[in-house]
């Protein structure tokens, strides 16, 4: 990849992780490591590289601008500089300043609005339901649900089984799709409606 500024340009081989973060830069006769914390904080090397954490363009400021400049993200503070206009009632989530809902290992947020899964090859429906609904994928396992239910009072055990059944229905529908993108928000709305009807915590 050719990267650089007006004063100099160079051809560099970039090694990235699954999130697109540049971890190593290889040049003839030279190699540089680029370590980051999970929230993207790392050494700033005088702008000798353009791409950084999650493959986003690095700025001269201390913030990274996500979503084509929509919102600044401060890696040192692990939060956005401004609230998300989609929060709290849309995809932005309840905490309008949070980066990746506090889970930057499994998620990225290049748009500054909504989460992206940082494991592009992962199509495990249970994993997606666990990450995006906030409820464990263990609800898809009958033996686990039965094991928990036997220790709960009757009403709570029934509520757990109902929730598990609804989760399995959504997972079955979703697993018949080729890609995760075909899972609709209505599927998750069904799970959330069932959760709200339940009385257990």
pLDDT of 144: 73
Number of compact structural domains in the chain: 2
Count CB atoms within 10 A of the CB of residue 53: 23
Average pLDDT over residues 159-181: 65
What is the tens place of the pLDDT at every residue in 53-104?
887 877 767 778 887 778 888 888 888 888 888 776 666 667 888 888 788 8
Is 102 inside a domain boundary? no
Whole domain around residue 167: which residue ranges? 125-197
- Strand, coil or helix: what is 2? strand
CA dihedral 159, 95, 189, 70 (to 10 degrees): -170
CA 45 vs CA 37, 95, 172: distances in Å: 16, 31, 48
Kind of pairing between the strands at 79-80 and 71-74: antiparallel
> Greater confidence, 191 or 62?
62
Is 25 inside a domain boundary? yes
CA dihedral 67, 72, 74, 77 (to 10 degrees): -110
Is 88 inside a domain boundary? no
Query: Does the pTM exceed 0.75?
Result: no
Out of 14, 40, 55, pick the residue that ends a domain: 55
What is the tens place of the pLDDT at every residue in 115-162?
666 554 444 444 444 444 444 455 666 777 787 788 888 888 888 888
Percent share of the chain, pLDDT over 90 = 0
């Amino acid at each position: 990849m050719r990267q650089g500024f007006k004063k100099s340009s160079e051809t560099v081989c970039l090694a990235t992780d699954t999130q697109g973060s540049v971890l190593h830069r290889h040049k003839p006769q030279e190699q540089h490591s680029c370590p980051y914390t999970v929230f993207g904080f790392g050494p700033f090397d005088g702008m000798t590289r353009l791409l950084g954490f999650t493959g986003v363009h690095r700025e001269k400021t201390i913030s990274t601008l996500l979503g084509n400049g929509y919102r600044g993200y401060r890696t040192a503070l692990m939060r956005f500089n401004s609230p998300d206009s989609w929060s709290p009632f849309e995809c932005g989530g309840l905490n309008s300043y949070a980066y990746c809902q506090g889970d930057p290992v499994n998620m990225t947020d290049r748009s500054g609005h909504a989460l992206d899964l940082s494991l592009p090859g992962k199509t495990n429906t249970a994993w997606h339901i666990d990450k995006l609904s906030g409820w464990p994928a263990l609800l898809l396992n009958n033996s686990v649900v039965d094991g928990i239910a036997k220790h709960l009072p009757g009403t709570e055990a029934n509520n757990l089984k109902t929730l598990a059944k609804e989760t399995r229905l959504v997972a079955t529908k979703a697993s018949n799709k080729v890609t995760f993108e075909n899972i609709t928000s209505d599927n998750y709305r069904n799970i959330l409606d069932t959760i709200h009807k339940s009385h257990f915590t």
